[in-house]
Structure 1
Amino acid sequence: MINKISTKTYVNTFSGENFYMIEIDGKSLEDIILENRPDIKKGIVPTFLNWLTNEDERKLVWERAIPKIGEKSRLPILMCSDDLDLWCTLIMVEVETDNKYVYWNKFGLEDSDAVKSEEIGKSVEWFIGIKNMRFDKNEYLNLLNEYRLRLSEDQEYLPKENEIVEVYKF
């Protein structure tokens, strides 16, 4: 089965601000996680948002968003919207790719004693009960580009309409 991945505007529980949530097959990624782990506090948001302001943390997220073919990465995908960093509640996903698809193999709660951002994900408490997901690679890259364009809105350079944004060089 190929899953559909997209974004949709939601309102943050804590701030009341609009943000773009990742949806899988029409369901928010937060809801998918909370159904399987109701002990996690509601209000987790995508790490691709411009709310993640620490440059090292943002770089880490984007470097792990799509690994090279044949490699796996541990991508911080959802973060606590109280602190908006990678040091509070942090949901990880193991990502893998081939020529046609991007796979989200498993999800978990970051559980390491990381001191530096590059150590994030070295220990993960993997969840039981969330099925693997497979996305069309072009659809996944389009999702990343949507977030990149929104990040660019806060920067001096704003890509022109219909301009292709190179995901791999973020």
Structure 2
Amino acid sequence: MNTIKVEIDTSEYGADDFANYRIDNYWLDEKLDELYPNKFYGGTIPTLLFGMEIPEEEKVVKKRILPEIDKTVICPILMCPDDLDFSCTLIVAEIQNCGTTIKWNRIGIDKTTESDPENVGSKVKWFQKMDKLEFDKHEYLKMLTDFEKYYKTDKENWEQRNTEFQKNLLDKK
């Protein structure tokens, strides 16, 4: 059984620290970068964070990250931090809900060309060097709850900064 949790990671690109997947004591993006060097998988960020540019894409992630029992779905789990959408580097997982465990049977790079967010995962190049992952469902649910807490905090911080920015713009007029 693998472990999964949320921990704060330091960005290698000068951006703010962020909540990231910690699996078996490694960062998922760094593990992919180690297995597939020069593909720019290191530095991708979780799709569960606040800031996705397209609301319909965010809905797809939230709908698929925890499939119904005995169902399997393809869910975006990591994305490019520059674009914050499905248009750039997008890492997906084939997620299966087995009742007491959640399996990420395969992880790969999305190659879908259709722009409809519902089609994401229809074409995937699966990573052969990445092993199947299996998580205790309670631990998986805690990970999702932790991401939701960071999402809310990041959203509140953004709204505060945006309000202050708008106020400063008005004050300058």
TM over 0.5: yes
Report the Cα distance in structure 1 between the residues aligned to 2:15 and 2:114, rounded to whole angstroms.
31
Tell whether the 8 Å contact from 2:7 to 2:22 is kept in structure 1 after alignment: yes
What's the RMSD between the two structures over aligned residues? 1.5
Q: What secondary structure sits across from 1:34 in the alignment? A: helix
Q: What TM-score does the superposition give when structure 2 sets the normalisation length?
A: 0.84
Q: What secondary structure sits across from 2:107 in the alignment? A: strand
Alignment of 1:73-152 (within 5 A): 73-152=73-152
Report the Cα distance in structure 2 between the residues aligned to 1:27 and 1:105, rounded to whole angstroms.
18
Report the Cα distance in structure 2 between the residues aligned to 1:131 and 1:93, rounded to whole angstroms.
12
Q: What secondary structure sits across from 2:70 in the alignment? A: coil
Whose helix proportion is higher, 1 or 2? 2
Q: CA deviation at 1:142?
A: 0.6
Q: CA deviation at 1:135?
A: 0.3
What residue number does 2:58 align with?
58
What residue number does 1:33 align with?
32
What residue number does 1:8 align with?
7
Tell whether the 8 Å contact from 2:19 to 2:150 is kept in structure 1 after alignment: no
Q: CA deviation at 1:67?
A: 0.8
What are structure 1's unaligned runs of at least 5 residues? 156-170
Q: What secondary structure sits across from 2:109 in the alignment? A: strand
Quick one: which amino acid aligns to residue 145 of structure 2? N
More divergent stretch after superposition (26-35 vs 132-141) = 26-35
Q: CA deviation at 1:15?
A: 4.1
% of aligned pairs identical? Answer: 31
Quick one: which amino acid aligns to residue 119 of structure 1? N
Q: Greater CA radius of gyration, 1 or 2?
A: 2
Report the Cα distance in structure 2 between the residues aligned to 1:82 and 1:14, rounded to whole angstroms.
10
Report the Cα distance in structure 1 between the residues aligned to 2:39 and 2:64, rounded to whole angstroms.
23
Report the Cα distance in structure 2 between the residues aligned to 1:108 and 1:19, rounded to whole angstroms.
22
What are structure 2's unaligned runs of at least 5 residues? 157-173
Report the Cα distance in structure 1 between the residues aligned to 2:73 and 2:29, rounded to whole angstroms.
20
Tell whether the 8 Å contact from 1:14 to 1:81 is kept in structure 2 after alignment: no
